[in-house]
Structure 1
Amino acid sequence: MWGGAFWLSRKVREQALDAARELEELGYSRLWTSGGFKDGFPSVYGELLAATTTLELASGIISIWHADPETTAAAVADLESRYPGRFLLGVGTSHAPVVDARENTSYTKPYSRMVEYLDGLDVASTPVPTDRRVLAALGPRMLKLSAERAAGAHPYFVPPAHTAVAREALGSEPLLAPEVAVVLETDETVARYIAREYMRGYLALPNYSNNLRRLGYTDEDLADGGSDGLMDVLIPWGDLDSVVAGIEKHYAAGADEVAIQVLTADPFTFPSEGYRQLASALLS
């Protein structure tokens, strides 16, 4: 499952811990959460791991503009010492509009910055091993780097066609774990409203829009929150069978695991019923 930034909020911490326990009981293997790190390594990671016994946790994705590699590596080492093998560090370059607006720095040479960050993780006092980190990767250079300098890639906001491209770029061994948002809603008007509100913000970010253009989508597809055709390949929606079929397309395209993000009309509640429905179909 993919949890998002909402999981990091102190205001809903108890609900998040309860939700994580239920995910474990339902049989999910890993929870991906939005990265954070603006004010230090999120304490919620340790709390979520402490609240569960087998559920693994991945940061999806910590921005490399947020914290220096030494601090990141120390935090990862602390989690590894307390919860061996259960935390996977995900790092990414974020997006120019986000970094320029919020990080008080300039979004320049993101690929080179990632290489330097990985170098820093390698030489930190407590290095982060290659097999305990993944990269947010969309384009060919970052996918190649994911195979060479990390355990694999965690692409976000991608259709199955990109999963196929990513698998070819990575090769057969590295982890490929795309995020896939879904809407368990059979009313088409409602489902498209939920999906389009989610899509609108991401389509405004050049890394995502340029990635979709590489796959052949046009400006018309990306306008006004996205075309229906783009929505149908990006966000499986409908009844349970339709949603599961959309998820399975990513496995057929080469994904090792799919980080499923359940979208609802209220993005500030935990979609527990969706977790249960998908568990009944995917994990039985």
Structure 2
Amino acid sequence: MYIGKTGIWSPELRLHHDPVEIHEAAAELDQHGWGALWIPGLGGGDILGDAERLLRATGNTTVATGVLSIWRHPAAEMAEGHARLRQEYGHRLLLGLGVSDAAAAQHAGGTHRPLAALDSYLDALDQAREPVPVDERVVAAMGPKLTELAGRRSAGTHPFLVSPEFIAGARAVLGSGPALAPYQAVVVDADPERAREAARGFLSPFIRMGHYAKSLLRQGFSEDDLSDGGSNRLIDAVVAWGDVDTIGERIRAHHDAGATHVALHAIGRGHGLPLAEWRQLAPLAH
């Protein structure tokens, strides 16, 4: 499945109140040439319905879930929905799957054993009446065991809040074949104070979550780096801020480390669609 070297990751493409504006924005992003449009799981909801809205608005770009929780979306329903959308729109829907955290598993009545749970979920996708092809699903893997499983049973992995150094380690685990498509937060602003403030505003809740905190600690950050919304060192490592050329340098660093695709999340200052930021970033679409 083709997703190109760069894409756009956007909660606004699910959350924005006006579906007509979402349709128009997705069509414009498709014209920019982004390889994929990624929408996050956001705790559940009709993620395939939201994906279909983007598929309907576009003609070339892949639409990817980045990522849906295996605890909130039954495998049989996802396989059935994926097959329906594939028949309608071709091979343009990439299912990104995540194991979430212990609270999500407990809420669903399960036990948070990530490897076993994901293995079983992938089994169910394989055994569905119309299976989800291996190359049309990826896994949100942060640790080496999940990364290995992702490379063996899916097209690859879509890690969150990682640096190019993490990417180099993940590529060593994956080997040369599987896709490695990290999320990359970006702030199009060359002022350090404003850029870091905007980055913290979005990222601070994630940094407090146990599974992301553990991942960041494994990457070499300290507890102090994770306090008060994230240290400058942490923010600068996981957020690309500055002008478009500077952000392009971070994309190249990911690719040089072994990434095959980078999903850019433009953090804006408003609550609507970040159209201005997307238009500024358009030269990076390829």
Q: Which moved further from structure 2: 90-99 or 183-192? A: 90-99
| Letter in structure 2 aligned against 1:69 | A
Q: Residue 221 of structure 1: CA displacement? A: 1.0
Contact 1:58 1:89 in 2 (8 A): yes
Matches within 5 A, 1:259-270: 259-266=263-270, 268-270=271-273
Question: Using the alignment, how far apart are the partners of 1:66 and 1:2 within structure 2?
Answer: 24
Is 1:64 paired with 2:67?
no
* C-alpha distance in 1 between matches for 2:93 and 2:20: 20
Question: Where do 1:120-269 residues align within 5 Å?
Answer: 120-266=124-270, 268-269=271-272
- Residue among 5, 13, 29 paired with 1:7: 13
* 8 A contact 1:154–1:176 mirrored in 2: yes
Query: Are the aligned partners of 1:134 and 1:146 in contact in 2 as well (CA < 8 Å)?
Result: yes
CA contact (8 A) 1:196 1:231 kept: yes
Three-state SS of the structure 1 residue aligned to 2:241 is coil
Instruction: Describe the superposition over 1:63-83 as per-residue Cα deviations: whole angstroms up to 9, x where unpaired.
Output: 000122111100000011011
Q: CA RMSD in A?
A: 1.7
Q: Give how far 1:37 is off.
A: 7.4
Higher relative contact order structure (alpha carbons within 8 Å, sequence separation ≥ 6): 2
Offset from partner CA, 1:44-97 (integer Å, 9 cap, x none) = 211211111111100110100012211110000001101111111111111234
- Structure 2 residue 95 is matched with structure 1 residue 89: yes
Identity between Structure 1 and Structure 2 (%): 36
**Take 1:283 and 1:230, find their aligned partners in 2: how far apart are those partners?**
26
**Structure 1 pair 174/183, CA: closer, same or farther in 2 (3 Å)?**
same
The Cα shift of 1:244 comes to: 1.6
Counterpart position of 1:279: 282
TM-score (norm 2): 0.92
Q: Contact conserved, 2:162 with 2:238, CA < 8 A, in 1?
A: yes
Q: Are residue 77 (structure 1) and residue 83 (structure 2) matched?
A: yes
Distance 1:253 1:154 in 2: 15
State the 1:42 CA deviation: 3.1
Tell me, which stretches of 5 or more residues in structure 2 are unaligned? 1-6
Unaligned runs of 5+ in 1: none
Q: Write the letter of the residue equivalent to 1:174.
A: P
Structure 1 residue 190 displacement after superposition:
1.1
Normalising by the residue count of structure 1, what TM-score does the alignment of the two structures yield?
0.93
